[in-house]
Chains A and B, each alone.
Chain A
């Protein structure tokens, strides 16, 4: 059981409404108490067509708790279908509805012939986090929305499933870069989230010849559902590839899995690496001579970014993971060993020490007590900003909550993403110079 005393770094399962909202033309319908949607709505980049402030919600109160909220859910769905122009409606149930045992499934089935698709997901906050909720939404989508029969397979189509959009502040940029890299090695990427994608991309999922999950543990259950439903093989790549080392490794793994021409993949990699190291060389004086960074670091983030940043900082930059790296997503017990093992698979036989913790106070206390001779750079969330200041540590926000940083469509994935991450790191560093 997670112990969040303060500084929450993730949210409850109902926040998987963001996963639905990241699929253009899909709309969440909340079967929850008043305020749930608003309370979970504190990210940036979530307005636009039907923002969480106006998601349809049953707003159930005492009356529904005592007598059941199914009637209210029925009328809310009816009215949502009438007034909202969307292709898919996803009912997400909150704590109250689940405790009183409302049967969302039965109500949703009443809309089988409504002309617009309605599915449901049980996402009570007491059952899990928005990381798990993300997987539950995808599972519901694959089980309830997608047709039973597989359509003709497109041998080049690869469905890419990333970690939870919105919770990942770089999701727009990362997905665009993944799409672009897949195209370059000759595949046809299919991503359901973000600009230019959406429900039509969901419809294309059955035609995919492969599924690729780029995430340490989030989303594993749902790709397994697709494997069972359509027999689509999946590659679980647990590292979000940032920078040349990991991206080249990733492309080779994808190429091998999808049986793309190996020489072609190598040509793509070689071209990208040539460009990447050209820039690294041009700016190497900055990396080598700027002696205001201790080149030690601590990442405080979910498994995805803790692993990804650690790999990049050690493998590409040669930084020292001297202290402990903290994974804050309350990784379920069954995935902890595999997450831990990633911190031990670093270049030059380096092993980083890591810990799972959701307790911000404890994390910061441990960093203070780690005995760094010079402050490490902190890669964390807004919660870590003032702490970093207290210990004179340079700080870069890469993780929810990102209240003090605006990220629109930039990403950190790939070769370009690695350089962008470097820009951010060294911009932070040079900003401490007094000129």
Chain B
């Protein structure tokens, strides 16, 4: 609860590395801020680049860097204001190959939580942008009890992205009985609504795992151009078609109320499912038309 009694909506965005989580999250934060909400984006990745495009491409000191240098941190020192008043925080973490990044996420999230900073800033939204696969307990912290209520996963129609999403669903299922976050839905990135099979694959996966697609985000050169100029699409090309897609996503997430426990596929089910799709894609690519007659 924020200080005026309103509920803070806390959202965690997960997905395979490189799938476009930070791009999607930053545009979502920007679109929500444009709707008049007070938003904090919390990057949970040792690379600490989640909020770059909200601050003209600049890096900010991370919670863990501050903690390393000073031993204790005032949360205010780790919060930086970005586009349209969005509060930007980066958890940070160790250099690759040393230490425990998962423990870093736990430490950073706890530090902000303990200092009641979300309430103090009277936030409407806290959006956690969490690194790739849920490789250990630390990266599951945002979906545990008392942190985020809703999880959205960014996934393309590629098998490996879907595999990562399915793993995340397992994590959500595990914590679902103990008050953890539930699944809001899939943000289908790099999926054109008009595509032959990309949309069908991701739709089918959503149906099999009892969830929904929040938005289809097509590939767009506008996103690349905006990112290269250190900005979100919402900021750099506010009137573009792509910005409209992100605004629509923000509206849907804003209206979203009930998240659910997903039904992840077992490894063998996932393999069989992928094999089915492989056959179908081959048929589409080779122009084979599958009809009832083909089975005769």
B partners with A: yes
A interface, CB within 8 angstroms of B: 62-70, 99-102
Contact A99 B67 (CB under 8 A): no
- Give the contacting residue for A100; candidates B64, B68, B71, B99; CB below 8 A: B99
Chain A positions within 8 Å of B241 at CB level: none
Interface size, chain B (Cβ < 8 Å): 14
Contact B103 A70 (CB under 8 A): no
Q: How far is the CA of A63 from the CA of B100 in the complex (A)?
A: 10
Contact A99 B100 (CB under 8 A): yes
Interface check B296, CB cutoff 8 A? no
- Whether A68 touches B99, Cβ cut-off 8 Å, given contacts A63-B67, A63-B68, is yes
Contact A62 B103 (CB under 8 A): yes
Interface check B107, CB cutoff 8 A? yes
Chain A positions within 8 Å of B293 at CB level: none
In chain A, what residue has the closest Cβ to B138?
A66
Chain B positions within 8 Å of A67 at CB level: 64, 68, 94-95, 98-99, 104
Chain B positions within 8 Å of A62 at CB level: 103, 107
Chain A positions within 8 Å of B93 at CB level: 66
Main secondary structure of the interface of A (DSSP, over half): helix
Chain B positions within 8 Å of A69 at CB level: 99
Contact A65 B98 (CB under 8 A): no
In chain A, what residue has the closest Cβ to B65?
A67
In chain B, what residue has the closest Cβ to A66?
B104
Interface positions, chain B 57-100, Cβ under 8 Å from A, are 64, 67-68, 71, 93-95, 98-100
Contact A100 B67 (CB under 8 A): no
Offer 13 A-B interface pairs, CB within 8 angstroms, sorted by A.
A62-B107, A63-B67, A63-B68, A66-B68, A66-B99, A66-B100, A66-B103, A67-B64, A68-B98, A99-B100, A100-B98, A101-B98, A102-B98
Task: Write the nearest CB–CB distance from A135 to chain B, whole angstroms.
Answer: 28
Chain B positions within 8 Å of A99 at CB level: 100
Q: How far is the CA of A101 from the CA of B68 in the complex (A)?
A: 19
Chain A positions within 8 Å of B104 at CB level: 66-67
In chain A, what residue has the closest Cβ to B71?
A63
Q: How far is the CA of A67 from the CA of B94 in the complex (A)?
A: 4
Task: Write the nearest CB–CB distance from A123 to chain B, whole angstroms.
Answer: 19
Contact A68 B103 (CB under 8 A): no
Chain A positions within 8 Å of B98 at CB level: 67-68, 70, 100-102
In chain B, what residue has the closest Cβ to A71?
B98
Q: How far is the CA of A99 from the CA of B102 in the complex (A)?
A: 11
Task: Write the nearest CB–CB distance from A149 to chain B, whole angstroms.
Answer: 35
Most buried by B among A66, A67, A68, A100: A66
Q: How far is the CA of A116 from the CA of B68 in the complex (A)?
A: 32
Task: Write the nearest CB–CB distance from A281 to chain B, whole angstroms.
Answer: 67
In chain B, what residue has the closest Cβ to A99?
B100
In chain A, what residue has the closest Cβ to B99?
A68
Chain B positions within 8 Å of A70 at CB level: 98
In chain B, what residue has the closest Cβ to A103?
B98
Q: How far is the CA of A21 from the CA of B100 in the complex (A)?
A: 31
Chain B positions within 8 Å of A100 at CB level: 98-100, 103
Q: How far is the CA of A48 from the CA of B100 in the complex (A)?
A: 37
Q: How far is the CA of A102 from the CA of B93 in the complex (A)?
A: 15
Most buried by A among B67, B100, B101: B100
Task: Write the nearest CB–CB distance from A104 to chain B, whole angstroms.
Answer: 12
Q: How far is the CA of A144 from the CA of B230 in the complex (A)?
A: 52
Interface positions, chain B 166-214, Cβ under 8 Å from A, are none
Q: How far is the CA of A67 from the CA of B101 in the complex (A)?
A: 8
Q: How far is the CA of A262 from the CA of B125 in the complex (A)?
A: 88
Chain A positions within 8 Å of B100 at CB level: 65-66, 99-101
User: What per-residue 1/0 map shows which CB atoms of B229-273 lie under 8 Å from chain A?
Assistant: 000000000000000000000000000000000000000000000
Give 8 nearest A-B pairs by CB, closest first: A68-B98, A68-B99, A100-B100, A66-B104, A67-B99, A67-B94, A65-B103, A66-B99
Q: How far is the CA of A102 from the CA of B97 in the complex (A)?
A: 9
Task: Write the nearest CB–CB distance from B250 to chain A, whole angstroms.
Answer: 33
Q: How far is the CA of A115 from the CA of B185 in the complex (A)?
A: 62
Task: Write the nearest CB–CB distance from B109 to chain A, whole angstroms.
Answer: 12
Task: Write the nearest CB–CB distance from B69 to chain A, whole angstroms.
Answer: 10
Chain A positions within 8 Å of B67 at CB level: 63, 66
Task: Write the nearest CB–CB distance from A61 to chain B, whole angstroms.
Answer: 10
Task: Write the nearest CB–CB distance from B274 to chain A, whole angstroms.
Answer: 32
Q: How far is the CA of A65 from the CA of B107 in the complex (A)?
A: 10
Task: Write the nearest CB–CB distance from B281 to chain A, whole angstroms.
Answer: 40
Most buried by A among B93, B103, B107: B103
Chain A positions within 8 Å of B107 at CB level: 62, 66
Task: Write the nearest CB–CB distance from B173 to chain A, whole angstroms.
Answer: 25
Contact A68 B68 (CB under 8 A): no
Interface positions, chain B 97-130, Cβ under 8 Å from A, are 98-101, 103-104, 107
Task: Write the nearest CB–CB distance from B139 to chain A, whole angstroms.
Answer: 14
In chain A, what residue has the closest Cβ to B108?
A66
* Other contacts beyond A65-B99, A101-B100: 10, CB < 8 A: A62-B107, A63-B67, A63-B68, A65-B100, A65-B103, A66-B103, A66-B104, A67-B64, A68-B98, A70-B98
